[in-house]
Amino acid sequence: MNEELVGRERVVPMDGIELWAEEFGSPEHPVVLLVMGAQAQGVQWNDGIVRRLVEGGRRVIRYDHRDTGRSSVVDFAVRPYTVADMASDALAVLDAFGVARAHLVGASLGGIIAQRLAVTDPERVLTLTILSSQPLGTDTAAVVRRAMAGEPPAPGELPPPSTELLAALASTLPDPEAGLEGHLALRLPLWRVLHGSVLPFDEEEYRAMERRVFERARDLAAGFNHTLAGAAGGDDTADLASVAAPTLVLHGTEDPMFPPAHAEASAAAISGARLVMIEGLGHSLPRAMDARLAEEILRHTA
């Protein structure tokens, strides 16, 4: 399982920008599109997960969102965008690989993007897997603002990120002049919090992942535009009642970003959705979970 994973890379043009994408597996197999979260690159879907999905008979595609990795950097002040635009990017990737319908697997913000596609473009979605995410239409920005101001959640509002995570997020703004070691010094403490306190924390694993992220990024700070895109809103949780794709909600019991109530709300909003809580998992994808996550995805997409 340690041989290098080699994919077929492609640059996808999309309305004046370029998206980096990579596919694995046989073109004859059903497609799993992996959609990463905010500020995250496609390669943060671990090679171990990708390899297991390919060995399970899936054609796997992962890609860099706009403003991450090798995809285009956007001047947000001149050309603002929304989650709806990021969902259109996902469709452009599928179109570029000649894929009419795919199994969508979205993590965190990627889960929201995948939900939106299941609502707006159901003919493109074979199944939906929502990982470490929350219901479409949740006003996360308002929740975080209230939490950081020390205010209680509004009636009916889902719980905010943990106090420890909010403090860690506030201290991780990238410094373009810091270099690799400065970048690692900022990011590793954040990953310790996101990882959770139950599973052993492998610092070298996260160090290697962030080193790869640093080396691939055109502009590390650009990914923070995803927060602005998410704050633009425009979706409604009630829309999830229309989702017809078979849906799996995967979530960690120790997620400090979206506590388990978020997963329960997602599953409740989508008819027939199956909720699987993963003991000890936080808001990250450690290699120790590759086999379990791939197993759940393969079962759901069978």
Residue numbers annotated as active site: 108, 255, 283
Query: Could you give the residue ranges of the DSSP H alpha helices within the chain?
Result: 47-55, 83-96, 109-120, 140-148, 163-170, 179-195, 203-216, 225-231, 260-269, 290-300
Considering only CA atoms, which of 247, 284, 290, 289 is closest in space to residue 50?
290
Separation between Cα atoms, residue 269 and residue 203, nearest integer Å: 37
31 has which bridge partners? Answer: 59
Q: Kindly report the backbone phi and psi dihedral angles of residue 278, in degrees, each rounded to the nearest multiple of 5, phi listed first.
A: -105, 115
Q: Which residues contact 181 (CB under 8 A, 6 or more apart)?
A: none
Which residue's structure tokens are 């993590």? 107
Q: Which residues contact 114 (CB under 8 A, 6 or more apart)?
A: 35, 90, 104, 105, 106, 125, 128, 129, 130
Q: Kindly state the tokens that stand for 154.
A: 């509004």
Give residue 235's identity as a one-letter amino acid code: D
Q: Kindly state the tokens that stand for 251.
A: 């979530």
Q: What is the DSSP string of 147-216?
A: HHTTPPPPTTPPPPPPHHHHHHHHT----TTSHHHHHHHHHHHHHHHHH-SSSPP-HHHHHHHHHHHHHH
Considering only CA atoms, which of 169, 267, 152 is closest in space to residue 227?
169
